[in-house]
A and B are shown apart, each in its own frame.
Chain A
């Protein structure tokens, strides 16, 4: 069983509040190598906030993060990257006015021995990675702004792959994509799993992620309702967790589970 191994990520008892509102309250989630965990919940359930703590965009008020069993200090996105954590945001966070290669290497540009940007080498590598990911992609010279949502998403994913991410966070990865591109991302996630990368999928739509995920963790009002293996529960049961906080028998309840009277 996977539970015997050291988890890749363990977030324990994380809390954060904004102006008195507990956006995340005593939440714990974990992730094992080669595993896809879907983090589900309504808009405003706290899932994006929780994961932004892992990616370094927010700083937690309390709780701890363990990476490979060791306590990790993540205070900004740079720290997160040091631990191999890469995030693909739902707002398609790419730099709009530079080209695909520049986006792939943003923040970690390849440079020539003279310290100048090695654009040609970056473009070569970008063509290689994008070729694997999205063979139809040819618009390497244009700013990312000119690309479609799916193409921009593939640039964002390619960026994560390029830097050997061990932990990938995908926030609504397919929300902006058409059906064909969604299928492409699904294929890609399976490939990444085989490479031993742990993936957090964040979504408010269970249909997007249920078939891709090994486990689901459901959040409601900032608290974790419960965790379950996707093979043990049905979509309807998970929906019950999302909407009412009702935990099915085979799931492990969390602090946010509906209190049975």
Chain B
């Protein structure tokens, strides 16, 4: 606290500056700690946002390439992981009901056929923008079976409020049985 009534103003000015400097060091320390936590989490759990800057032409999505309709949904890979391919368009996702196994590494690949959409899966930290022209890729793993909602979280036009999908997480064995007879899985009716 500066001595306002101090007889020697120079001394009080120095004292005030000293206290300020101490405070500045403390807050820079706090911010450095927070950044360190971010770095540690990013490396330790490999938690990275979708960042591959991978492009795709939205006007030919349905005609050729990995996002043709027959290739959408969950696919079991040779290494046992599951890749889920989804398209967002005004005003739905394809597939509308996604089925995935619990306790299995999962890769999502998502893009948009028209405008900017977004997706999140409630009760998880899965959250990505879905943009035309770009493919969002991210890895995740579900801890346990359960049902989740998957709303579009970016304004995409007048029907935005109706753009909701469902995510069904099933037991690993159940998923294996479902996947035995089919190449691509979804729980669409």
Chains A and B belong together in one complex: no
Measuring CB to CB, which residues of chain A are less than 8 angstroms from any residue of chain B? none
* B interface residues (Cβ-Cβ under 8 A, vs A): none
